[in-house]
Structure 1
Amino acid sequence: MMEALAAKDYYIASFLLIGIGTYVMIAAGNLVKKVIGMNIFQTGIFLFFIASAYVEGGTPPLLTSETPHVSPVPHVLILTAIVVGVALTAVALGMIVRIYDDYGTLDERTLKEVRSSD
């Protein structure tokens, strides 16, 4: 039983990262912590897709070999997702700076109170 779980460590790690990221996004009141939670969640998704694309004994997709081939599509999608994730983080942090300049706080509850009184 333990050998089967040891072979799937990457799945356990990815679901653990997804769970931690989701918890931080829901539980944190600070907007910067929510962005950090979102990045942890994204890392779990990236790990899951890369781990699921693994082929035992796989080789690059060349026509000269008869061994099982590894599809490059998941890897390319994850590289694109990393770039989108970095851009999303930059935009989110830029918006957080603007929110702090306008309201003087990053706490979600305080922002709701300030917005409701305006």
Structure 2
Amino acid sequence: MEIVLSLGIGVLAGSGIWLVLRPRTYQVILGLSLISYAVNLFIFSMARPRSNAAPIVDPSNPVNPANYADPIPQALVLTAIVIGFATTALFLVILLVSRGLTGSDHVDGRENK
């Protein structure tokens, strides 16, 4: 499980970095989104995801924190997803306005020939 999660984070981060280095703004926005997804998965993996762990503390049994899921990384990732969606929408609007004003979708505003 850990190796698959690590490989997924690595592939997302690597693809995101590759897209950020591309000359077109749409590719840069997609790269930033992939990097943010990789960071979200990394934060989520810090909680040591495990199956069959109770999310709620049972008051009848003695509390052992190792037996329960940690809700803090889940809350952080959920907040990051919402903020990432909003900033991606803002970047897309800025991309459309920039393309309308300059006539180009390149990062530096001019096409390389």
TM-score of the superposed pair, with normalisation by structure 2: 0.82
* Among 39, 43, 47, the residue aligned to 1:53: 47
Aligned-partner Cα distance in 1 for 2:110–2:102:
11
Mark the runs of 5 or more structure 2 residues left unpaired by the alignment: none
Mapped to 2, the partners of 1:36 and 1:55 lie a distance apart of: 27
Aligned length: 106
TM-score, structure 1 as length reference: 0.78
| Structure 1 gap ranges (5+) | 1-5, 114-118
1:71-109, CA deviations, whole angstroms, 9 ceiling, x for partnerless residues?
101001100000000010011011111101110000124
Among candidates 7, 10, 14, match of residue 9 of structure 2: 14
Q: 1:89 maps to which residue? A: 88
The superposition leaves residues 2-40 of structure 1 with CA deviations (integer Å, 9 ceiling, x where unpaired) of: xxxx642101211221111011101x1110110011111
Q: Is the 8 A contact 1:55 1:69 kept in 2?
A: no
Q: Which residue of 2 aligns with 1:3?
A: none
Q: Is the 8 A contact 2:16 2:31 kept in 1?
A: yes
Q: By how many angstroms is 1:51 displaced?
A: 2.2
The structural deviation recorded for 1:112 is 5.7
Q: Which runs of at least 4 in structure 1 moved beyond 6 Å after TM superposition? A: none
For residues 85 and 108 of structure 1, what CA distance do their matches in structure 2 show? Answer: 20
- Superposed CA RMSD: 2.0
